[in-house]
Amino acid sequence: MRRLPACGDRPAEVGTEEGDRVGDRGPGPAAVWLVRHGESLGNVADAQARADGAGRLQLDVRDPDVPLSGTGRSQAEALGRYLAALPAEERPTAVLSSPFTRALATAELATAELDLPVRADERLRERDFGAFDGMTGAGIREQFPDEARRRDLLGKFYYRPPGGESWADVALRIRSLLATEALRHDGQRLLVVAHQAVVMVFRYVLEELTEQELLEIDAHHQVANASLTRYEADDDGTLHLRVFNVVDHLLDQSENVTEEPDAAPCA
């Protein structure tokens, strides 16, 4: 994919009609919409643990089963109303989701009026935090000081928690998904519902960013729950970023905007 400069929340809007594509373009979607799941009970627990200075989140379910909060469901429904109100030629035509409960529920609520099946793909799952699952950065630094120092040395992109994944590992999943789904969804407008780190790594892959460029964006932008990031293809099929981390559909419907991290080991 062609490299783009790091951009702010709202690049210029440029429409792409299906008829604009030329016959010699490679297979691939006409547009990719990236959505972070709505606020989850895990996000709420993480915010509370940070406020309390606790080392671990108070959750009694495994990460794949963490549900949306009431606010998260309202955010997903607001997104659904926005999508349903779009002209038919602009709405998503296919939906992929992380198999995690919070993402699947967001996808189903957001597409309830579009009559589109939601297909789960494990390559969109949340980054695996391994031994640090359910812990706060403060807890990790206290219990695993050597790992905290190793993370500081390697940096956020390449650091892999014990038994977990780095952002680079997530990038391998995204590259695999794009390679297979380009054929399956050729010419379609693909809606993808996933997680904060997955949305950020999509930017890394699609825009051919460097590690430093990605981390610079991450340092200044917390991906909001139920936010929209959209790419559109040009005549040769290259996907270009049009909007990033947009929450207008929530603000327009007076929904809360939340942006708690899914997790932040050693942060």
The enclosing domain of 206 has a CATH number of: 3.40.50.1240
Domain of residue 72: give its range: 24-251
Q: In what order do the strands lie in the sheet with 94-97?
A: 118-120, 94-97, 189-194, 31-36, 228-233, 239-246
For residue 88, is it within any domain?
yes
At 20, is the pLDDT very low, low, confident or very high (cuts 50, 70, 90)? very low
Number of H helices, E strands in the chain: 9, 6
For residue 13, is it within any domain?
no
For residue 14, is it within any domain?
no
For residue 259, is it within any domain?
no
At 24, is the pLDDT very low, low, confident or very high (cuts 50, 70, 90)? low
The per-residue pLDDT of the chain, averaged, comes to 89
The radius of gyration of the chain from alpha carbons, rounded to an integer in Å, stands at: 18
pTM: 0.88
Mean pLDDT within 86-112: 97
Of 103, 165, 107, 155, give the one whose Cα is nearest residue 133: 165
Pair 127, 117: CB distance under 8 Å: no
DSSP 65: G
pLDDT at 255 over 60: yes
Backbone angles phi, psi at 215, to 5 degrees: -70, -30
Pair 139, 55: CB distance under 8 Å: yes
pLDDT at 178 over 70: yes
By DSSP bridging, strand 31-36 and strand 228-233 are antiparallel
Of 197, 224, 193, give the one whose Cα is nearest residue 99: 193
For residue 204, is it within any domain?
yes
From start to end of 170-226, where are the E strands? 189-194
At 19, is the pLDDT very low, low, confident or very high (cuts 50, 70, 90)? very low
pLDDT at 16 over 60: no
Q: CA-CA distance, 151 to 161, in Å (whole number)?
A: 8
Mean pLDDT within 205-211: 98
DSSP 56: B
Of 267, 265, 256, give the one whose Cα is nearest residue 77: 256
Structure tokens at 126: 């949340």
Number of domains composing the chain: 1
For residue 58, is it within any domain?
yes
